[in-house]
């Protein structure tokens, strides 16, 4: 293995040693298999290719200063993947198989877990796809579940530094009764054009509004939005938002810090009232927002005066990171130590 510059890793794919796979056939899951191949053999009529029967997850493993590998809230990822499977009519992955696959793939790739203090982590990508052939629009009878891993740095190249975002009014990420609340690839495909538009204009990401009224904040591209004011952590409530496990954790940590927490609709008219704003998710962790520009009105909402993250965002980020790496006590039972 070539030497890895752990402190300057991008958020991207880096080849590792092995991935793990399991197949659902004849109404049941088989045994977990290990592969060194980066390819999958798939039927030309597989439902994942034609009808979008696909779901994925993202979670991270961290190296502590004690040399032990820590996994953050994997049960919530397993639960969310089951909801995604239900949403597009796929076979559900049991918790036992999900965790067995996690332990196996990390153990096989332990040398790729970034060292403590590097600011990087091992990203795990569980994937569930319909592999059975169908030409008519119907669910497959066969599925593949796999997990591959890659060491990663921060999702936004700025890391924990404030970024600029644009309110997108010319595209919808998901409809209220669609698939926005589950983690399926179609939601991300629907965001590619508008995200590129935002990037081309110099923004780190775009903020989507609700599809019905174009009045309420939904998502920050691939992350959840939060705003802070009056000692309160506020994040949107919407049937088309993916429930972020990081956001769920930050809500609890905000309460632990003595803040109030609210999950409710956020009218864009409220944007000028926030003292801090940010995007959060497994990949991004927390990305503080420096300013938001409205694509239509060109109004600008600024959240930093000195270009640095706000004090509450800093406290939340540091506390979450310290729990994930084992530097602070895990009072909520979120972290599993892995014997690998």
Alpha carbon distance 77, 80 (integer Å): 5
Q: Which residue in 110, 101, 131 sits closest to 17, CA to CA?
A: 110
Q: Is 183 an annotated catalytic residue?
A: yes
In contact, 172 and 211? CB cutoff 8 Å: yes
Residue 83, judged by CB atoms within 10 A of its CB (0-12, 13-18, 19+), counts as middle
Contact 153, 21 (CB under 8 A): no
Helix, strand, or coil (residue 331) = coil
> What is the Cα–Cα distance from 74 to 109, expressed in whole angstroms?
18
Which 3 state secondary structure label does DSSP give 173? coil
Question: What are 217's strand-pairing partners?
Answer: 209
Enumerate residues 6+ apart whose C-beta is below 8 A from 64.
Answer: 70, 116, 325, 326, 327
| Environment class of 1 (CB within 10 Å of its CB; exposed 0-12, middle 13-18, buried 19+) | exposed
For residue 252, how many other CB atoms are within 10 A of its CB? 15
| Among candidate residues 177, 183, 180, the one with its CA nearest the CA of residue 219 | 180
Question: HSE of 210 in the Cβ direction (CA atoms, 13 Å)?
Answer: 16
Active-site residue, from 28, 104, 183, 214? 183
**Catalytic site positions:** 183
């Amino acid at each position: 293995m070539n030497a890895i510059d752990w402190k300057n890793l991008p958020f991207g794919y880096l080849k590792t040693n092995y991935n793990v796979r399991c197949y659902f056939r004849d109404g049941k899951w088989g045994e977990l298999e290990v592969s060194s191949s980066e390819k999958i053999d798939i039927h030309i009529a597989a439902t994942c290719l034609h009808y979008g029967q696909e779901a994925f997850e993202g979670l991270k493993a961290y190296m502590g200063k004690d040399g032990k590998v820590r996994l953050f809230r994997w049960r919530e990822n397993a639960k969310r993947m089951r909801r995604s499977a239900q949403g597009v009519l796929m076979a559900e992955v049991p918790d036992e198989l999900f965790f067995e696959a996690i332990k196996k793939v990390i153990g096989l790739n332990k040398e790729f877990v970034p060292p403590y203090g590097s600011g990087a982590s091992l990203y795990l990508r569980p994937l569930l796809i319909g592999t059975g052939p169908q030409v008519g629009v119907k669910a497959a009878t066969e599925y593949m579940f796999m997990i591959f891993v890659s060491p990663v740095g921060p999702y936004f190249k700025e890391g924990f530094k404030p970024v600029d975002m644009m309110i997108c009014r010319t595209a919808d990420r998901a409809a209220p009764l669609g698939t926005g609340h589950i983690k399926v690839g179609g939601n991300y495909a629907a965001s590619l054009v508008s995200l590129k538009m935002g990037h081309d204009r110099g923004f780190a990401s775009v903020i989507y509004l609700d599809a019905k009224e174009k009045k309420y904040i939904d998502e920050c591209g691939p992350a959840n939005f939060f705003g802070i004011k009056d000692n309160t952590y506020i994040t949107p409530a919407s049937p088309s938002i993916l429930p972020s496990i990081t956001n769920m954790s930050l809500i609890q940590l905000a309460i632990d810090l003595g803040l109030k927490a609210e999950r409710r609709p956020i009218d864009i008219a409220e944007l000028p009232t926030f003292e801090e704003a940010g995007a959060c998710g497994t990949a991004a962790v927390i990305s503080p927002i420096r300013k938001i520009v409205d694509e239509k009105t060109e109004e600008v909402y600024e959240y930093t005066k000195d270009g640095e993250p706000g004090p509450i965002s800093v406290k939340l980020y540091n506390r979450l990171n310290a729990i994930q790496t084992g530097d602070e006590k895990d009072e909520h039972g979120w972290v599993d130590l892995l014997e690998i």
